[in-house]
């Protein structure tokens, strides 16, 4: 039976990040441009917050000062995929690491004024009808920045930790490497796992395969007391080699992490970890997120 409300609802749900399969995460580059200088920050930056949308960049990689106008570009070879103006906000220090934290203005490309207005309207409607996420509503303007930023698809990790009360595991895609041995994971500050991560100081982050995405997504909810209910755990968890923290046996790679520093930006708490051990498990296509208009993947 023809149901226009249901059809429109399905249409609204296309305006989001979608799961895609990647063979590797190095297909696109992220460049920082300022006064003619072009710096590749692909492997030394991280998304840290959605509300407001913000990224952190390892200051060692930069040849710019905080007064200069800066633009972030996502490119595939010589093709410009997306562009965001960056506005310096603050800096964060962790031992010898200094992070420049930037917020962004309106994306330039590929969001034309009409595209931006139409999709802002659709995302506003989607926010009003999304009864499941009333405590975490990201404004349309910030989502549009996220969509452009994610034209380089963002890999999905399963973050897991053992703590005094039990075991927790959940997917995270607000993450990135800020140096060769340091990664940054951002977790919604309302999560019950936050104080437990700070207390234990140890965790694992496992790169997830695309064909196990449904099992990964079923863990993507707030767990009471930061304990995964037994009926939610997919079969085949094994202990990591060093920390003995449960990780999925179907992981592509496992990274064992030691907490170095934490700070808060927007509605997320950021954790800087040192990677103390990294090893492969099973080869597979990587689960990643990218917006619906990324023609390279759809």
pLDDT (average), residues 56-70: 79
CATH of the domain at 181: 2.30.110.10
Question: What backbone phi and psi angles, to 5 degrees, belong to 248?
Answer: -65, 135
**What's the predicted TM-score (pTM) here?**
0.92
Alpha-carbon distance of 56 to 45, in angstroms, equals 6
250 in a domain, yes or no?
Answer: yes
Reply yes or no on whether the pLDDT at 187 is more than 60. yes
- Average pLDDT of the chain to the nearest whole number: 90
Q: Which helix (H) or strand (E) holds 115?
A: helix 113-129
Percentage of residues of the chain with pLDDT beyond 90? 68
pLDDT (average), residues 263-283: 96
145 in a domain, yes or no?
Answer: no
213 in a domain, yes or no?
Answer: yes
Q: Which domain covers residue 211, as residue numbers?
A: 154-291
Alpha-carbon distance of 270 to 261, in angstroms, equals 8
Least confident of 53-67, 123-137, 159-173: 123-137
Which residues lie below 8 Å from residue 76, measured CB to CB, with a gap of 6+? 27, 28, 29, 296
254 in a domain, yes or no?
Answer: yes
Do the strands 157-163 and 268-280 form a parallel or antiparallel pair, or are they unpaired? unpaired
pLDDT (average), residues 208-236: 85
45 in a domain, yes or no?
Answer: no
Cβ 57 vs Cβ 98: under 8 Å = no
Q: How many domains does the chain have?
A: 1
Per the structure block, which two tokens stand in for 121?
Answer: 């309207």
Most confidently modeled range among 10-14, 67-71, 197-201: 197-201
Nearest C-alpha neighbor of 294 from the set 10, 4, 38, 15: 15
Cβ 158 vs Cβ 47: under 8 Å = no
Cβ 107 vs Cβ 144: under 8 Å = yes
159 in a domain, yes or no?
Answer: yes
Reply yes or no on whether the pLDDT at 230 is more than 90. no
247 in a domain, yes or no?
Answer: yes
Reply yes or no on whether the pLDDT at 262 is more than 90. yes
170 in a domain, yes or no?
Answer: yes
CA distance from start to end of the chain: 29
Alpha-carbon distance of 288 to 230, in angstroms, equals 26
Q: In the β-sheet with 286-291, what is the strand arrangement from edge to edge?
A: 17-22, 286-291, 154-155
Quick: pLDDT tens for 4-51. 878 888 888 889 999 999 998 789 999 999 887 899 999 999 999 999
pLDDT (average), residues 201-224: 92
């Amino acid at each position: 039976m023809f149901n226009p409300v249901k059809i429109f609802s399905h249409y609204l749900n296309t305006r989001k990040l979608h799961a895609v399969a990647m063979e590797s995460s190095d297909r696109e580059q992220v460049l920082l441009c300022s006064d003619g200088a072009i710096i590749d920050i692909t492997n030394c930056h991280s998304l840290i917050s959605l509300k407001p949308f913000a990224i952190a960049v390892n200051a060692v990689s930069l040849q710019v000062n905080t007064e200069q106008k800066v633009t972030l570009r996502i490119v595939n070879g010589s093709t410009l995929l997306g562009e965001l103006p960056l506005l310096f906000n603050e800096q964060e220090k962790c031992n010898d690491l200094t992070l420049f934290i930037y917020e962004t203005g309106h994306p330039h490309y590929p969001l034309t004024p009409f595209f931006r207005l139409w999709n802002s309207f659709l995302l506003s409607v989607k926010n009003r009808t999304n009864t499941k996420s009333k405590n975490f509503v990201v404004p349309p303007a910030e989502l549009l920045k996220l969509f452009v930023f994610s034209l380089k698809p963002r890999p999905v990790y399963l973050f897991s930790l053992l703590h005094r009360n039990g075991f927790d595991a959940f997917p995270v895609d607000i993450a990135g490497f800020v140096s060769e041995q340091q990664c940054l994971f951002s977790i919604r500050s309302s999560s019950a796992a936050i104080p437990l991560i700070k207390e234990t100081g140890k965790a694992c982050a496992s790169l997830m395969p695309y064909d196990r995405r449904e099992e990964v997504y079923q863990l993507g909810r707030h767990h009471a007391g930061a304990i995964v209910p037994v009926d939610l755990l997919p079969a085949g968890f094994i202990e990591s080699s060093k920390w003995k923290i449960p990780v999925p046996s179907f992981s592509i790679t496992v990274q064992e992490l030691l907490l170095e520093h934490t700070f808060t930006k927007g509605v997320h708490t950021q954790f800087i970890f040192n990677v103390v051990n990294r090893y492969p498990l099973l080869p597979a296509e990587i689960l990643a997120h990218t917006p619906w208009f990324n023609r390279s993947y759809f």
